[in-house]
Amino acid sequence: MEYIFECFYEDTLDKISRNGLQDRSSRRDVLDHLNAIIGGCSDGQNMLTEEVARIAVLAAVRYHRDKKGGNGDVCLMGKFHNILYIALRTCWDWGVRDSAVVVVLLEEIYACEKTFERIFLGALFGPHAPHFIAGWRSDFRDQDENTRAMVYFLHHATSLDMTLPVWIARYEQERMLKFIDIPIESCGRSSPLRVALQASAPDLLLILLRYGAEPNPPDGGSSVVLALLDKLNENGRNYVYQNVSCLEILLRNIPIIEMPYKPIIYSTRREMFFERYGRLLIDKILRKEQVYGVMSLRHLCRCRIRDLLRTNGQLPDGIDTLRLPRRLQRYIDLMEEIEGPETSNNDSNDGVKGFVKQVAEKKSIKPSKLCANNLASVENSQNVATPVITITSADKIVVDSVNGNNDNHNNNSRICTRVGNVSAVEDTVLDKPLTL
């Protein structure tokens, strides 16, 4: 059966000019002919169509390698390279499930183009935009089909943890990147995640993050979080809904927002951050805990679990193997948010406003000091916190305890703790001991 497809590629491409497959309609004609042969071989050999399509894809890869090898291991491009995209469409049409075959085809494409823009651009901008961006038309009917095809290839690439060498100009070295992080050549060599943020596409951003895209793209560009915050600040308080959704989705994968590293002094960097993005904190677009505080433990655990699964190429399929309740699995998979206990939003908002006002006025708040002379006034005041009780070296602590229940005794447990000579500050002694 392999010989049938080899003869088909030789006879068909010999009759086509070098640029004969540049047009999308010409590729569809060849694809229709190939699909007819796959259906006939499946019926004649009593084989699954998916298995026959797998053989056809491998035959296309071998044809491309033979032509490339005959030219000094340099791709001839034109029809000799476009045959790979006919094989790419064949994988999608017949649902080839062999991930090894799909990865071999993707590696063959990357060896010549050093990018996968013909897979991602149609999903990001629609089937017509690539013609104006890169000079070619997508092989898929609409943006929805292109998105589903992108997910199909992402699934097979991540299942085998496909990584490829990419030259990063900023670092002046070659790094191994995953299929989902390969820069798009026609978009300034930006990663698909960065392009999705620039296009304000929260649905595609969620897909990319679920399948293991790096929240901080390794393409050598600036911080995507800060770029998105600048984008939200462009129109004052007229926030675009898609941009807000992109920020919410992106922050699910980031434990904390890294502020700019210059200047080095943290307090100065913090003031500069609030001067620039304080409005987002006041309007609750951005949570202050994720900038200079500590996020909840469940959020930090989710970020850590996703980092481990991403490193091992197990996103998102590896989440189902975790022995966790279904709701927690959906939470780790970014499909559901779990709200914690209610907090005082008014107090939090007032604190943010106060800090922004402090930064604007360039004033620092001095903490109040307690001493023995004004201890009485402090106790009567309701605006100052209760002084901390300390135990000096001269204090005595007597603790009498009675053993609790164990396997041999069924007595009721009673623990009595007596603390004496406890003072708030030196020279001030309580007359009566405290009994806990």
What is the chain's pLDDT, residue by residue, as a tens digit (436 residues)? 899 999 999 999 999 999 999 888 999 999 999 999 999 999 999 999 999 999 999 999 999 999 999 999 999 999 999 999 999 999 999 999 999 999 999 999 999 999 999 999 999 998 888 778 777 788 898 999 999 999 999 999 999 999 999 999 888 899 999 999 999 998 989 999 999 999 999 999 999 999 999 999 998 888 999 999 999 999 888 999 999 999 999 999 999 998 876 777 888 888 888 999 999 999 999 988 888 888 999 999 999 999 999 999 999 999 999 999 999 999 999 999 987 654 444 444 555 555 555 555 554 444 444 444 443 443 444 444 434 433 343 343 333 333 344 444 444 443 333 333 333 334 434 444 444 3
Q: Which residue, 331, 346, 327, is CA-closest to 297?
A: 331
Task: List Cβ<8 Å contacts ≥24 apart for 161-170.
Answer: 161/312, 161/313, 162/103, 162/106, 162/107, 164/107, 164/110, 166/114, 168/218, 168/219, 168/220, 169/220, 170/220, 170/221
Q: Please give the Cα distance from 147 to 195 (Å, whole number).
A: 15
Question: Residue 416 region, left (φ>0) first, then alpha (ψ -120 to 50), else beta?
Answer: beta
Phi, psi (5° rounding) for residue 65? -65, -35
Q: Do 396 and 430 meet the contact criterion of CB atoms below 8 Å apart?
A: no
Q: Please give the Cα distance from 135 to 133 (Å, whole number).
A: 6
Q: Please give the Cα distance from 308 to 313 (Å, whole number).
A: 9
Is it true that the peptide bond before 433 is cis, omega within 30 degrees of 0? no
Q: Which two tokens stand for residue 54?
A: 């797998």
Q: Which two tokens stand for residue 370?
A: 């307690």
pTM exceeds 0.75: yes
Q: Which two tokens stand for residue 299?
A: 């959020």
Q: Which residue, 334, 337, 353, is CA-closest to 345?
A: 353
Q: Is the dihedral of CA 233, 238, 244, 245 positive or negative?
A: negative
> String of b and e for 2-30 (b: at least 16 CB within 10 Å)?
eebbeebbeebbeeeeeebbeebebbeeb
Q: Which two tokens stand for residue 191?
A: 């990663």
Beta bridge partners of 225: none
Greatest distance between any 2 Cα atoms in the chain: 108
Q: Please give the Cα distance from 225 to 76 (Å, whole number).
A: 41
